[in-house]
Structure 1
């Protein structure tokens, strides 16, 4: 990351924090209802018109600067320059490095010279009946 990109990121974060702070300082639209009950005198710090115009203008200016830094970061991020380097690209492996084991087990190699027979279970033999015994049928 070059110095320009770092500076724009820092400015972007500062503008974002300032916008949040200014929005939280502003009074809502329903705050004018309290002026009839004596709460209107607290807005005279920023002048006769109150703090609405000063805070609104400052918020709008910071919003424009925030959008400008957003567009600048998008431009700097999409610009072809020095390609980001991966951690894997930084590792120097020797040419005769052993292959990494795969996640799936490899199938056994087919050997055509010898046939491998698996042991078989003997087939069940039918029961032998003697001639003198009757068979039971259900």
Structure 2
């Protein structure tokens, strides 16, 4: 199962980088105003409207695959945690219990003074 998880992680990272690149390449809705006056329609590979639908569809497909790989990685992590729990390996979980507050500095300073004898906190000289 380790090779499958590794394959999904590699696909996940490649798709994440591809999604970032596709989003950065796409033009916003405001860029269409310049193309209306002949400013860019002749320079596009897919025509004046063709690249928008192609890029949008490709981005949608990559986003769907990204969500599927994210979900499958979550399933792999859950299975790994269950196997670790069954094998007796402690799984780190956050505790909701509140611990008792530590003693104040005044209380800690007073305890050694009382233990050494003498009210001044200094050892007695012989």
What range describes the TM-score normalised by the shorter chain of this pair?
Answer: 0.5 to 0.7
Matches within 5 A, 1:3-18: 3-18=3-18
Of the structure 1 ranges 28-37 and 64-73, higher mean CA displacement relative to structure 2 is found in 28-37
Q: Name the CA distance, whole Å, in 2 between partners of 1:82 and 1:6.
A: 19
Offset of residue 5 of structure 1:
1.0
Q: How many residues of Structure 1 are paired with residues of Structure 2 in the alignment?
A: 93
Shift of 1:24: 1.0
1:81 partnered with 2:83: yes
- Residue 51 of structure 1 aligns to a residue in which SS? helix
Does the residue aligned with 1:119 lie in a helix, a strand or coil?
Answer: coil
Mapping of residues 90-101 of structure 1, within 5 Å: none
- Higher normalized contact order (CA 8 Å, seq sep 6+, divided by chain length): 1
Specify whether residues 47 and 34 from structure 1 end up closer, same or farther in structure 2 by C-alpha distance, changes over 3 A only.
Answer: closer
Instruction: Say yes or no: does 1:34 pair with 2:39.
Output: no
Structure 2 counterparts to residues 1-138 of structure 1, below 5 A = 2-39=2-39, 40-43=41-44, 45-47=45-47, 49-79=49-79, 80-82=82-84, 118-119=123-124
Kept after mapping to 1: 8 A contact 2:12/2:69: yes
Instruction: Provide structure 2 residue ranges, at least 5 long, that are not aligned to the other structure.
Output: 91-111
Partner in structure 1 of residue 96 of structure 2: none
Query: So what's the TM-score if we normalise by structure 1?
Result: 0.57
- Structure number, greater radius of gyration: 1
TM-score normalised by structure 2 residue count: 0.62
In the alignment, the residues of structure 2 paired with residue 36 and residue 26 of structure 1 have an alpha-carbon distance, to the nearest angstrom, of 17
How far residue 38 of structure 1 moved from its aligned partner, in angstroms, is 2.4
